[in-house]
Amino acid sequence: MDYLLNKFTSSGPKKLKIALIGQSNFAADVLELLLSDGHEVVGVFTIPDKGSREDILAVTAKNHDIPVFKFSVWRKKGVAIPDVLEKYKSVGANLNVLPFCSQFIPMEVIDGAALGSICYHPSILPRHRGASAISWTLIEGDSIGGFSIFWADDGLDTGPILLQKEVEVEDSDTLDSIYKRFLYPEGVTSMGEAVRLVAAGTAPKIKQTEEGATYDPPMFKEENQIINLNQPAKAIFNFIRGLDSVPGAIAYALDENEDEVMIRLFGSQMFDDPIPEGKPLKLKGLTTPALVTEKGLLITGSDGKVVNVQRIKKGSKMISSSKWFDQTSGQVTLELTDAEKAIETSLKGIWESILKVDITEDTDFFACGAGSMDVVRLIEEVKDAYDVGLENETLFMAPTFQEFFTQLILVSRQGSSSGVINVEYDGFVLKANKREISVPTQLFINGKFVDAENGRTLDIVNPTTEEVLCKVALASKNDVDVAVKAAHEAFKGPWSQVSARQRGQLMFKLADLMEQHKEELATIEAVDSGAVYTLALKTHVGMSIDVWRYFAGWTDKIEGSTIPVNPARPNNVLTFTKREPIGVCGLITPWNYPLMMLSWKMAACIAAGNAVVLKPAQVCPLTALKFAELSVKAGFPPGVINITAGTGSITGQAIADHPLVRKLGFTGSTPIGKKIMASCAESNIKKCSLELGGKSPLVIFADCDLDKAVRLGMSAVFFNKGENCIAAGRIFVEEKVHDDFVRRVLKDLKTMTIGDPLNRSTAHGPQNHRAHMEKLVEYCEIGVKEGAKLVAGGKRVPGMKGFFFQPTVFTDVEDHMYIAQEESFGPVMVISKFKGSDVEAIVKRANNTEYGLASGIFTKDISKALLFAEQVEAGTVFVNTYNKTDVAAPFGGFKQSGFGKDLGREALNEYLKTKCVTIEF
């Protein structure tokens, strides 16, 4: 091993006269370090300005009054340019330091300093000699990376080694990540260490071996950036991450005419999950088309394994790969506060300081010549200036000033950084359905999960096992007050600044997150409420997702109208209406469809622009709390959505009584609905909508399709184990087919599988909670006592743990009986006969109740169907079907089944107020 001869006295290391040759923040940091060590930097040599933009190294040198020289080239035709060489010699350096140099420096300069030249190289030489060493470390799948500081010679990266540092390359590393966490910070420190060794005369010169030496093609040449897709998935993954950030791996998409469209791929990761549904995208060189899915762009390698690509760049525009087939979404328009307008002005100043150009809305960061270090600088300055965490990816996805500014404001309003948002909470891990699901158990107030006052909790019981699942925070009156005030502040503040279209985008994102987590949500719903998993997946969760997307589409279509009025001549008058959100809305939801009832009400409420405080059912609040976690990840500002679990008598009553709550939406029993309505009147005459009990009639005529009537009639009663507000509480069967109908029902009941709701073959799960099951037992006992004929069920399932109740059938039921008048809300079929000759008579019997939620009729006679639909007193009428609800169809009842609508356009009216404006001119 050779060492540098110490040309100084034995008194110790001497301060050097250094010429610094390089560029970028890396070189600027090395400059600052050398100055702090007391060395004299006699000259800085860097690249010419890009337009009016100086490299940061030049700016830093000028701040220290160091001479700066900017050469576009150092030699011509292999010969050093005399003028350039003369200027270099003029500074009188005894050591050249090249910390990040992209130019070819002639040997007259390399050897022009008495102590020679030391250079930083981002690889463990001799492996990956060349300009793209970092990229090739990743492309080749090296397990070890690092950097070398070597003595420059007349070869290319072949001089003796001064020092080297290594790092383990992680599977998740990209060019950006390995540079940020190791190559940059350790590299700067090590450059200072190397200069100190030179100054001390102890710097080694270790000759490079040729064993294992490689020289790799430069990746700044476009032809070298084209990815070979006909190779194993791991190689595809490595190539993409090796070119991540810049410039990106080039692939060619084939359009419908088989024309090639150049794209660049970013953000690769190996994909081991089940392949989701998606749309095929043809890529040149790929035998099996790639798949555009909600997870990203899935590319299958030659070994059958799959790579997921997160981002695609087409032209100068970066998009999420999952949005490849949806590239026409409009630009978000923001209504800015005064503070946000000030941010816009100062952000332009930051862009100007980096790009050295006048900034307009359309200024493209990269089209102005910005490089990867400029990206880092911008993101860091934004963090420092506005305390908002963004990632480099944000700029790649939004490269123009207006796009980037919009993203900055959206994130600042959300109060969180872009990318994955981690939500902190206390909870438990639900181990079920071959999953481990983290579930919050605290209240959700003002964007955070918090304990209830005094730490009060309530037990949540699994209806299948009768065991306590967890303890959930029990909201007090004071907790509700905090939540309502948070909602009020959000409504008056940041939520009011979110445009209608942006509101819709947040709702769409929330729906997407719900879909991504649908199996988790359905599992929670099955365990917490007893819903059969397959039904929970399709209806409880599936319809919830649909309703959020449906109302997301309404956000920017809420309109007023102009009204012709009589003016007082000679003046003119313009009168128009505005539809405005009400303010803070309280929502109280039931236990039969926990997530779906939340979504039915809240989606319309949020679409209209309100803020919400919701009390989920006391016995099954877990999906509501998991939903709250997803709302944070979707980006809803704190306070817009609040979830206060608790009891009806305390938590629910506090919401109904609160003076800042201006609207209350309630689904539950009629007796509680009456109390709610009284509280709304007494507190502040708040608007309310009530979806209450039902005793829905289903009339089956002999001329119907009896097979269909039996199948759907059973569904009308036993769907969701009878815990269904529109369940057919009374079935009237024409006497001609009565016995046949009953026989078929009893036969089909024998095939109904009762058991664990997570079992895919289960058709009938446990009732929601013990009190309800006991109420059903009592209900059936009353029916028998009054003389109805019990032909099936009527009891708890014997020998079975859990709140399982037998599917039950009563016949010979007369209209005056208790079970003909009162709702069971369980799997109890109540059958009465009628004669088909008098249609009006059966309609009269159907209306002989105080409830009017839903109804149904099976007949092939259109006249009977229309007469029934016209005369029946019910908010919903099903003809030759049942339970056929849709997010676009309004839902609500008459009489003591309540008033107001969920779903459909009409639901928006429940959460809006109309303002009339008259202008005389």
119 is catalytic: no
CB atoms within 10 A of CB 401: 20
Q: Determine the distance from the C-alpha atom of residue 760 to the mean position of all C-alpha atoms in its chain, rounded to a whole number.
A: 29
Give the model's pLDDT for residue 327. 56
Q: Is 121 a catalytic residue?
A: yes
Which comes out higher in pLDDT, residue 399 or 12?
Answer: 399
pLDDT for residue 329 is more than 50: no
Tokens of 265: 């791929």
The pLDDT score that the predictor gives to residue 372 is 67
Mean residue pLDDT of the chain comes to 91
User: Mapped to the 3 state alphabet, what secondary structure does 399-418 carry?
Assistant: CEHHHHHHHHHHHHHHCCCC
pLDDT of residue 332: 52
Helices 372-386 and 24-36 sit at what angle, rounded to 10 degrees? 70
Question: What percentage of the chain carries pLDDT values higher than 70?
Answer: 96
Confidence of residue 141 (pLDDT cuts 50, 70, 90): very high
DSSP class of residue 382 equals: H
Q: What is the C-alpha to C-alpha distance for residues 459 and 518, in angstroms, rounded to an integer? A: 25
In this predicted structure, the answer to whether residue 10 has a pLDDT above a threshold of 50 is no
844: phi then psi, degrees, rounded to nearest 5: -65, -40
pLDDT higher than 80, residue 396: no
Please report, for residues 141, 295, 581, 682, the alpha-carbon distance to residue 913 in angstroms, rounded to integers and kept in the order given. 61, 40, 6, 20
Give the best-scoring range by mean pLDDT among 162-176, 355-369, 522-536.
522-536
Average pLDDT over residues 524-546: 95
What radius of gyration do the chain's Cα atoms show?
A: 36
- 197 phi, psi to nearest 5 deg: -65, -40
What pLDDT is recorded for position 522? 96
Q: 861-879 as b/e, with b when 16 or more CB fall inside 10 Å?
A: eeebbeebeeebbbbbebb
pLDDT one-digit tens code per residue, 857-871: 999 999 999 999 999
Catalytic residue among 691, 734, 823, 873: 691
The count of C-alpha atoms lying within 13 angstroms of the C-alpha of 634, restricted to the half-sphere facing its C-beta, is 26
- What is the spatial distance between Cα 68 and Cα 265, in angstroms, rounded to a whole number? 38
Catalytic residue of the set 54, 101, 119, 121? 121
| Band (13; pLDDT cuts 50, 70, 90) | low
State the pLDDT at residue 417: 40
Q: What is the residue type of 166? A: E
Q: Is the peptide bond before 494 cis (omega within 30 degrees of 0)?
A: no
SS3 assignment for 78-142: CEECHHHHHHHHCCCCCEEEECCCCCCCCHHHHCCCCCCEEEEECCCCCCCECCCHHHHHHHCCC
Written in H, E and C, the secondary structure of 148-183 is EEEECCCCCCCCCEEEEEEEECCCCCCHHHHHHHHH
Residue 352 confidence (pLDDT) above 60: yes
Residue 469 sits at the vertex; the CA angle it makes with 466 and 472, to the nearest 5 degrees, is 125
**pLDDT confidence bin for 419, thresholds 50/70/90:** very low
DSSP 71: -
Per residue in 127-140, pLDDT tens? 999 889 999 999 99
Neighbour count for residue 4 (Cβ, 10 Å): 18
The residue assigned the tokens 């790799």 is 216
Tell me the CA distances in angstroms from 209 to 100, 180, 532, 632, one per residue in order.
24, 29, 68, 55
Phi, psi of 145 (to 5 degrees): -125, -170
Task: Name the pLDDT band for 556 (thresholds 50, 70, 90).
Answer: very high
What is the pLDDT confidence band of residue 410, given thresholds at 50, 70 and 90? Answer: confident
Average pLDDT for residues 604-629, to the nearest whole number?
98
Peptide bond just before 126 cis, omega within 30 deg: yes
> What does the pLDDT read at residue 418?
39
Q: Output phi, psi for 101, to 5 deg.
A: -115, 125
Mean pLDDT within 454-475: 96
pLDDT for 657 beyond 50: yes
Give the C-alpha separation, 716 to 883, whole Å.
6
Which pLDDT band holds residue 392 (cuts at 50, 70, 90)?
confident
Length of the chain: 921
Identify which has the larger pLDDT, 711 or 321.
711
Task: Let me know: does 800 contact 766? Beta carbons within 8 Å.
Answer: no
As given in the structure block, the two tokens for residue 141 are: 């799948």
Please indicate whether residue 723 is annotated as part of the active site: no
Which DSSP helix (H) or strand (E) runs through 891? none
Give the burial class of 304: count Cβ atoms within 10 A of its Cβ; 0-12 exposed, 13-18 middle, 19 or more buried: exposed
Q: Rounded to whole angstroms, how far apart are CA atoms 475 and 649?
A: 11
Task: Compute the CA torsion angle 28, 34, 37, 41 (nearest 10 deg).
Answer: -120
**Annotated catalytic residue: which of 101, 725, 823, 873?**
725
| DSSP letters for 217-285 | --TTSGGGGB---SS-HHHHHHHHHHTTTTT-EEEEEE-TT--EEEEEEEEEEEE-SPPPPEEEE-BTT
Collapsing DSSP to helix, strand or coil, 628 comes out as helix
pLDDT at 810: 98
Q: What angle do CA 112, 114, 118 make, to 5 degrees?
A: 75
Q: Provide the pLDDT confidence category of residue 421 given band limits of 50, 70 and 90.
A: low
How far apart (Å, rounded) are the C-alpha atoms in residues 342 and 677? 46
Neighbouring C-alpha atoms within 13 Å toward the C-beta of 43 = 20
- Stated as kind and residue range, the H or E segment containing 746 is helix 735-749
- Region 250-275: mean pLDDT is 90
% of the chain beyond a pLDDT of 90: 75
For the segment 876-903, what is each residue's pLDDT rounded down to a tens digit? 999 999 999 999 999 999 999 999 999 9
Both structure tokens of 174 = 């990209």
827: pLDDT confidence band, cut at 50, 70 and 90?
Answer: very high
pLDDT tens track for 745-781 = 999 999 999 999 999 899 999 999 999 999 999 999 9
